[in-house]
């Protein structure tokens, strides 16, 4: 097999493997999420919230892993909350799986 054939096969393999991520990025506006309560409050120095997200069927690439980090932005700075990791059905890592 010539070098040019190997090169084209590698290009094709790379393009095919990234199709799922490109598809996810182009359909990001279909993801909906809600934060409860809508107005966050502090109680004894802690902020409690619930984040619910809805993804369209077949949105997730089977081997994709996505990290979400909610960030509260306020006048004096910002505070990052615990990162939530979700993954496609064939991804490794043992996180919450999206089918």
Question: For the chain, what are the domain ranges?
Answer: 3-98
* pTM (two decimals): 0.55
Q: Determine the pLDDT at residue 45.
A: 81
Contacts of 42-47 with CB under 8 Å at 24 or more apart are 47/72, 47/79, 47/81
40-91: pLDDT as tens digits = 788 898 878 787 888 777 777 888 888 888 888 888 888 888 888 888 788 7
* Confidence class for position 94, pLDDT limits 50, 70, 90: low
Q: Determine the pLDDT at residue 15.
A: 45
CA–centroid distance for 44 within its chain: 31
Q: Is the pLDDT of residue 14 over 50?
A: no
Q: Determine the pLDDT at residue 41.
A: 81
Distances (CA, A) of 58 to 27, 30, 88, 89: 11, 12, 10, 11
């Amino acid at each position: 097999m010539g070098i040019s054939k190997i090169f084209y096969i590698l290009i094709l393999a790379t393009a095919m493997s990234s199709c799922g991520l490109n598809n996810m990025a182009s359909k990001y506006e279909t993801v909906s999420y809600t934060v409860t309560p809508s107005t966050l409050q502090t109680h004894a120095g802690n902020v409690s919230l619930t984040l619910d997200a809805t993804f369209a069927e077949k949105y997730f690439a089977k081997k994709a892993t996505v990290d979400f980090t909610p960030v509260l932005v306020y006048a004096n700075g910002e505070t990052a909350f615990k990162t939530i990791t979700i993954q496609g059905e064939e991804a490794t890592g043992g996180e919450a799986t999206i089918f």
